[in-house]
Amino acid sequence: MQRVFEALASVPRRKILAYLAHAELSAGEIAARFDMSKPSISQHLSILETAGLVSSEKRGQFVYYRLVPDNLTNTLNGFVQEVCPVGRPLKRESAARRDGGTRRRAERVPSCDHSGGESTMGMLQDGVWTNDTPVAPTDASGNFQRAESGFRDWLTRDGAAGPDGQAGVPAAADRYHLYVSLACPWAHRTLVVRALKGLETLLPVTVVGPLMGAQGWSFAEAFGGTGDPVNGVDHLHQLYAMARPGMTGKVTVPVLWDKQARGIVNNESSEIIRMLNTAFDDLGAKPGDFYPSELREEIDAVNARVYDTVNNGVYRAGFATTQDAYDKAVHALFDSLDWLEDRLTGEWLVGDRLTEADIRLFTTLVRFDPVYHGHFKCNIRRLLDYPRLRALAERIAALPGVADTIDLDQIKTHYYRSHKDINPTGIVPAGPAVPF
């Protein structure tokens, strides 16, 4: 025990333990959170490992560190809570607690709604980041509840109001910036439309890393991000606080940022893709209308079912906290996949052209076999078992620029290492082989 107390005498080492309370991390990932070099962090980790407080495992070219088993939990909790308030006790009262007879998960990250740590969710509370929120909020019946987006202004060609009277801002070259996660299906929609419309120069992109720590989405390169060349912040929640000081709410991707006004235009993916569809047409965007007026009613009807039972349905199944909630979600999901397979008699879901209905479904299909089939227990059938839907996904992936928006490594890393109560080991599976 003497080695334990000597190891815990160091404030940096106690802070390291506080962050390891949330997730397995490499020395580089930990260094990204400190004003300290990676070699110094590695030295502290060596002392903690010698004291038996952490263990390590080499995966590929990186070594990941994790906390020790529960026999040291009580000792560590006191230090973690004293030194780093964002840290939670290493052993919660249980992974699922009973509340009036309803089983509720204490922690989950609703992947891209997912503003939080690898075992926590997190949000802004009066402009200050906190992890004291459930990762995947559920209702009294154990059904996953997705929050609405909070920024809803509209980007138009000339700054006119949006379709429902939203405040408009005018399109301009290099005035706006898109913040995304390559892992997130909702953000992925915006990248697909951006590629199809050829907006790479008009609308630059910054990418957050697939791993989320105690401060939520991170731009740190050690976490797989690109850094933030626009505002120079370390975490996405800092952008939200900059845009709306004192804000209380979730921090999500995608984000359409106005560099001139230094604020968020919109963070709702379904609206951003419609903005990108037409807003830059006078500034050199490629031709293409993915929401044509003559097909809108049918597109809206397909979108409504696909969103509720497929796009969000995989989350409702994966984050369900009761058997009944899971059963309803998973059967509704596969009923809709069967319906879509039957509907797809031609190349596209609506009419004889690519529309946003195809794009919105595509980003879920890409992730289905690698993630949702196993990780979210959506395993009645695979995408491989739906020849028409698989062909649709391959057809879209083959369009110019679309393949570059698909990063299966980031997708799998995010889900399998972020949802620690679903996949406690954090092991990322090697397969399956998919044609994207």
Q: What is the pLDDT of residues 270-312, one digit of tens each?
A: 999 999 999 999 999 999 999 999 999 999 999 999 999 999 9
pTM over 0.75: no
**Pairing relation of β-strands 168-170 and 154-156?**
parallel
Identical topology for domains 2-83 and 154-283: no
Q: What is the pLDDT of residue 5?
A: 61
Phi, psi of 320 (to 5 degrees): -60, 140
Q: What single DSSP character describes residue 420?
A: T
pLDDT for residue 366: 98
Which residue numbers in the chain have pLDDT < 50? 70-71, 73-74, 76-111, 114-120
Task: Identify the pLDDT of residue 225.
Answer: 92
Q: Which CATH superfamily is domain 154-283 in?
A: Glutaredoxin (3.40.30.10)
Is the domain covering 293-418 a CATH 1.20.1050.10 domain?
A: yes
Polymer length of the chain: 436
pLDDT computed for residue 397 by the predictor: 98
Tabulate helix, strand, coil % of the chain (nearest 5). Answer: 40, 15, 45
Asked if 300 and 221 count as a contact pair (C-beta separation under 8 A), the reply is no
| Correct CATH for 2-83 of 3.40.50.2300, 2.60.40.680, 1.10.10.10, 2.60.40.290 | 1.10.10.10
What pLDDT, on the 0 to 100 scale, is given for residue 339?
98
Contact 432, 370 (CB under 8 A): yes
The pLDDT value recorded for residue 116 is 26
Give the closest residue to 36 by CA, choosing from 45, 48, 24: 45
DSSP H helical ranges for 215-322 = 236-243, 269-278, 296-306, 313-318
pLDDT for 136 equals 55
The residues pairing with 385 across neighbouring beta strands, listed in sequence order, are none
**C-beta of residue 34 within 8 angstroms of C-beta of residue 11:** no
CA distance 369 to 203: 31
For the stretch 334-361, what's the b/e string if a residue is b when 16 or more beta carbons lie within 10 angstroms of its beta carbon?
A: bebbeebbeebeeebbbeeebbbbbbbb
Bridge-partner residues for 55, per DSSP?
66
Q: Which residues are catalytic?
A: 184, 315
- Rounded Cα distance between 16 and 254, Å, is 30
Portion of the chain with pLDDT greater than 90, in percent: 63
**Token reading at 406:** 């698909």
Cα maximum dimension of the chain? 75
Each domain of the chain, given as residue ranges in start order, spans 2-83, 154-283, 293-418
Q: Assess contact for 411 and 374: CB atoms under 8 A.
A: no
pLDDT at 223: 74
